[in-house]
Chains A and B, each alone.
Chain A
């Protein structure tokens, strides 16, 4: 009987270990920097952007249909906010063995096809995705520079209409960055959305 209970507890712990609950950043936390390889072969760190007021960090990938639906909107975010001091950095967090469509070579191809105007970097060790607490693609973290520190200002989706951005009633990311630029409170600091699970390496 005790054995069964112990087994159950063990199994229970095991299941929840994989589910990524309560891990990662909350709004208000300080976000860590990274050094990740971009599709152009260069390494990208947030520290390299001396003039940035913050960042729109987006965990995304090639294969996920939701990521694909948002590609053009991510390009538009960079067009609109890159010059205002909130550049986009897209991070592919997936294990490329489990999801070969998301390999570094395929990332290069996709970036070229779509004309990505932002770095598209690979998180090979998945350490950044884990530290941030990303669970899906696409998954956005807006970071705001406050007295030299990068603070998480928003976590969630880009908008509330994955099918068609022009029909979105709420543009979460634009609203949040606009608020930061105007020195106002962000009305909605978190949102949930359907997306693809991040393909984690086997432990």
Chain B
């Protein structure tokens, strides 16, 4: 008699799980450097942003679309620089916007200790975006807000 109940609970659990939303994984600089140095087949597009940063939020849909349009060629990684105390805010943002890209929250505010490791070309202003092609070893870094079409143009420059 209890079997249907158990089945229902299991089924309900599965449904919930499939609807469970993405959240940001909190990482340190070591993990960030792993993401940057990863020998992936895909071109990695690493975007540094924060929920409080207007231009970052404005350009996010371009990254989402670029990742969705090129799933086999490109991996979009979003690195939130929000304070770790604001993790809930970041997770709410991810869920409200239905972000599909992988989001990490980098919890290290000793900025001078790691910004230069990411790129010599970065002063620390956000938004900032890094394109990495492991196969050719090419990197491109941009400390600026992207406009529609920019990501495709940069991708083509990187592969040429």
Verify B81–A194 contact, CB threshold 8 A. yes
A135 at the interface (CB under 8 A from B): yes
Beyond known contacts A136-B125, A170-B112: 4 more, CB 8 A cutoff: A18-B144, A135-B124, A162-B111, A194-B111
Tally of A-B Cβ pairs under 8 angstroms: 88
Q: List 25 A-B contacts (CB under 8 A).
A: A11-B153, A19-B142, A19-B144, A20-B143, A160-B110, A160-B111, A160-B112, A160-B113, A161-B109, A170-B112, A191-B111, A192-B115, A192-B122, A192-B123, A192-B124, A193-B111, A193-B112, A194-B81, A194-B109, A194-B126, A195-B124, A196-B125, A196-B126, A197-B55, A197-B125
Chain B 93-127 against A: per-residue CB contact (8 Å), 1 yes, 0 no? Answer: 00000000000000001111101100001111111
B20 at the interface (CB under 8 A from A): no
Interface residues on B, range: 20 to 34
- Grouping DSSP codes into helix (H, G, I), strand (E, B) and loop, the A interface class, with mixed when no group exceeds half, is loop
Closest 3 CB pairs of A and B: A136-B125, A192-B115, A191-B112
Q: Which residue of B lies closest to A191 (CB)?
A: B112
Instruction: Mark out the residues of chain A between 1 and 42 whose CB falls within 8 Å of any chain B CB in the assembled complex.
Output: 4-5, 8, 11-12, 15, 18-21
**Cα–Cα, bound, A136→B52 (Å):** 15
